[in-house]
Structure 1
């Protein structure tokens, strides 16, 4: 799933399309290439504590483990081995079963606008794994006293705060999918997740599960709300069918908001 976020037009320091609008609190940033994409962590507050350093290390280790389990590019990943019948489900990492169940729930909630089933009858949970993985990684930061954070991965974002800390408000610039030099809108995110799905960055890679064909149109769909996992799923569903997706989202998840461009 793709996301397109660019720097908001004003505020404090920018990265991954995020500004916090302040300059007084200590800040710190970390970036690593994981799961085939740049992953950035932005902290405010008690950013130099040993607990903060340890949590960031655990966060990146979490994502590297997800890549070992789920990568569709690695022949030795557990998912690849399981799909080839070389790995007994009883010996597999429990994440595989967890994600498969989440994919089933996502297909039901979205009325079939999101699916891990491929047109040839195969299984590819990639559209759910990134949001699920990034949200799981961000949980390591939630235990750190005195910080607020924003974690960005390929454009998808999770914001929150550690133990006893007041969360920051992060301004997210949403890229215009038809003119990627322009910010089309900004969203304030304090806690929760934001995801964008579209074709501007990677072309027509999103399939309509109802037909098995790629969605060829331009544009994007952005969803934000309590969790990145479900924001990511719903962004895909709304890009596949903006009208049906919006109706299903409003019925199933009224706490989420969306923007279709």
Structure 2
């Protein structure tokens, strides 16, 4: 449900300390992961990158809904049949995701995995799906039918055919986990970027903060702002790479799980805060909710700041980011 639109991670070209920076790109959770570690020497950095890869792989094996032997796959196979016991870690992640589904009134819904993919964003669509097809596409979606039993650590999907999936939320969780693990191991700076769900800590070897460039959604080959990462996580969702246009209206690839219709009105949302997992939930939700309802929601959570850009190019951002309010 998320498009990676964080195009530019700005790295310094030199170090004034004895520290070295090492970066590796790998495919994990079906997506691109860029792992950057700052350490006293190259061997230490590379070994810790290996540790990050092992941790993301462990999480993937627990929560992947495309691996037949994962705990989430077992939950999905038993939808409408009975509850499935899962590890406390999986239960807690599901519990947090379900809470997000509730606070967004279904704009974010972990049962979206059961949605029929009737919208095509590869250029093959020539007409809008019928209202009946749209309604049918989401008939097995509904977070209200996910039953959690904390005492027994079980998950039960009440409706036959229901599915839950973590998608990019799992990437954000993995990035947060790896950041915390590295800090516990004494690695004082680095980045774990799971397909745009980015957790950072510390500073670059020259002492400067990590910084990112935010893509201009109206000209996606350009950057309209460079933002230093004073908070440890950042996630962007965007609609400008995958969309269809019918009757002059643009429909994004991010689908509203409660209606089955694509999001409209917002072309890009970037969310900064302490957790990539939570920032991902917000960025996706704001795309679905639209400008007014989305900004009303995120303003209730002052730990998180935002940059929201409408389809018309209007920019709305948290005052403490210090960006000028203007149009692209």
Shift of 1:243: 1.6
Equivalence for 1:156: 197
Moved beyond 4 Å, runs of 4+: 165-168
Pairs aligned (count): 246
Change (3 A) 1:224 1:75: same
Runs of 5+ unmatched residues, structure 1: 7-16
1:176–1:184: 8 Å Cα contact kept in structure 2? yes
The CA deviation string for residues 94-141 of structure 1, in whole angstroms up to 9 with x for no partner, is 333122101122123334332213322333332422211221122222
Correspondence 1:188-203 to 2 at 5 A = 188-203=228-243
SS in 2 for 1:133: helix
Q: Provide the rounded CA distance (Å) in 2 between the counterparts of 1:173 and 1:228.
A: 17
Alpha carbons of 1:133 and 1:146: their partners in 2 closer, same or farther (altered >3 Å)?
closer
Q: CA deviation at 1:248?
A: 1.0
Q: Which residue of 2 aligns with 1:60?
A: 53
Match 1:129 to one of 147, 170, 173: 170
Whole-Å separation in 2 of the counterparts to 1:217 and 1:73: 32
Instruction: Identify the match of residue 249 of structure 1 among 287, 298, 311.
Output: 298
1:42 equivalent in alignment to 2:36: yes
Are 1:155 and 1:196, in contact at CA under 8 Å, matched by a contact in 2?
Answer: yes
Q: 1:72 aligns with which of 47, 65, 68?
A: 65
Q: TM-score, normalised on structure 2? A: 0.67
Distance 2:177 2:165 in 1: 19
What is the DSSP-based 3-state SS (H/G/I as helix, E as strand, rest coil) of the residue aligned with 1:82? helix
Write the mapping of 1:46-125 to structure 2, written as runs, cut at 5 A.
46-48=40-42, 50=44, 52-85=45-78, 89-90=84-85, 92-118=86-112, 119=138, 120-121=140-141, 122=162, 123-125=164-166
Q: Contact conserved, 2:37 with 2:48, CA < 8 A, in 1?
A: no
1:10 aligned residue: none
Distance in 1, matches of 2:265 and 2:299, equals 23
Deviation at 1:147, TM superposition (A): 3.5
Q: Does 1:27 align with 2:21?
A: yes
> Are 1:259 and 2:260 matched, yes or no?
no
With over 3 angstroms needed to count, the CA separation of the structure-2 counterparts of 1:218 and 1:178, relative to structure 1, is farther
CA distance in 1: counterparts of 2:239 and 2:185, whole angstroms: 36
In the alignment, the residues of structure 1 paired with residue 192 and residue 103 of structure 2 have an alpha-carbon distance, to the nearest angstrom, of 26
Counterpart of 1:14?
none
- Structure 2: give runs of 5+ residues left out of the alignment: 113-137, 142-161, 244-251, 310-328
**Separation in 2, partners of 1:171, 1:47:** 23
Cα–Cα, structure 1 residues 167 and 93, in superposed 2: closer, same or farther, change >3 Å?
A: farther
The structure having more radius of gyration, on CA atoms, is 2
CA RMSD after TM alignment: 2.7
Question: Which position in structure 2 is the counterpart of 1:233?
Answer: 281
More divergent stretch after superposition (97-106 vs 25-34): 25-34
Instruction: Provide, for residues 44-101 of structure 1, a one-character-per-residue CA deviation record: whole Å limited to 9, x for no partner.
Output: 3524353x444322211111122222223333333122201299622x3333312210
Match of 2:218 in 1: 178
Tell me, yes or no, if the aligned pair for 1:172 and 1:186 is still in contact at 8 Å. Answer: yes
CA 1:105/1:39 → structure 2, altered by over 3 Å: closer, same or farther?
same
CA shift, 1:207, in A, is 2.1
Retained in 1: the 8 A contact 2:37–2:49? Answer: no
Q: Quick one: structure 1 residues 47 and 37, their matched pair in 2 at CA, closer, same or farther if it must change by over 3 Å?
A: farther
CA distance in 2, matches of 1:157, 1:167: 20
